[in-house]
Amino acid sequence: MTNTELAYTGIYTDWTREAILAEVEKQMKPSRFQHVLRVEASSIQLAEKYGASVEACSLAALLHDYAKEHAAESMKEIVLSEGMDSEMTGYGSEIMHGPVGAYYAETVFGIKDEAILDAIRQHTIGGEMMTLIGKVLFIADYIESGRAFKGVDEARRLAEDSLDEAAYFKIEKTIIHLVKKELPIYPGTIYVYNSWIQRKVGKS
């Protein structure tokens, strides 16, 4: 299936694919829009491989970074007015753009599917529980063909065999990366790490 044949209009949203692309493109610089398209391509591949809904994964990918370039103040307002975790406001746009992106997916594009909204919400830090769609987006964002960080080849190799192994790898490497760069770690990020590591070593 090519992405131009995707049928989500009338199922997940009333927006056509063409209209979605035009609206997303308006929110960001061209290089980020290209990233979004690569995440979609990567999501479709993973969805086909792991038996997730290609339509839902495509849509989650197209909308995942919708809020990424919005002003931090505007994201903060939404976090507070929508009753999201207010602690996020102390950790900047990187932490807020997923949950705020999910808010726009619902309010601008009319998406009600909770698995799509959760996938967008959790795409930066992951979640204690992630749906298949959530894992597909989480990994696709990490391994899309434009990513070139140290470790990306290992992540791509893991994603060939297991979405969970690839997700755990991303969760662990992100924590290490943040510590090395002396960046503050949002408690939700640690919480997700704890839940994955406890499952991995069989403790609870």
Q: Does 55 help bind Fe ion (rule: CB under 5 A)?
A: no
Chain positions 2 to 31 lying near ligand GDP, rule: CB under 6 A, are none
**Interface region with ligand GDP, contact rule CB under 6 A, candidates 80-88, 108-116, 152-160, 170-178:** 170-178
The interface region with ligand GDP, picked from 1-9, 50-58, 102-110, 174-182 by CB under 6 A, is 174-182
Question: Residue 9: beta bridge partners?
Answer: 13
Give the residue, chosen from 15, 117, 141, 166, that forms a contact with ligand GDP under the rule CB under 6 A: 141
CA distances from 143 to 4, 56, 174, 179 (A): 22, 19, 13, 21
Query: What is the spatial distance between Cα 13 and Cα 106, in angstroms, rounded to a whole number?
Result: 9
Minimal distance in Å, beta carbon 11 to ligand GDP?
A: 26
* Residues contacting 128, CB < 8 A, separation 6+: 191, 192, 195, 196
How far apart are the C-alpha atoms of 198 and 202, rounded to whole Å? 6
65 binds ligand GDP (CB under 6 A): yes
Among 38, 76, 121, 123, binds ligand GDP (CB under 6 A): 123
Name the one range near ligand GDP by CB under 6 A: 53-61, 70-78, 103-111, 120-128. Answer: 120-128
* Angle (CA) 177 28 89, round 5°: 55
Which SS3 state, helix, strand or coil, does residue 9 take? strand
124 makes contact with ligand GDP (CB under 6 A): yes
Is there binding between residue 70 and ligand GDP (CB under 6 A)?
no
Considering the complex, state which of residue 9 and residue 152 has its C-beta at the smaller distance from Fe ion: 152
Determine the Cα–Cα distance for residues 111 and 166; give it in Å rounded to an integer: 27
**What are 95's two structure tokens?**
């932490």
Which residues make up the interface to ligand GDP (CB under 6 A)?
65, 68, 91, 94-95, 123-125, 141, 174, 177-178, 183-186, 189
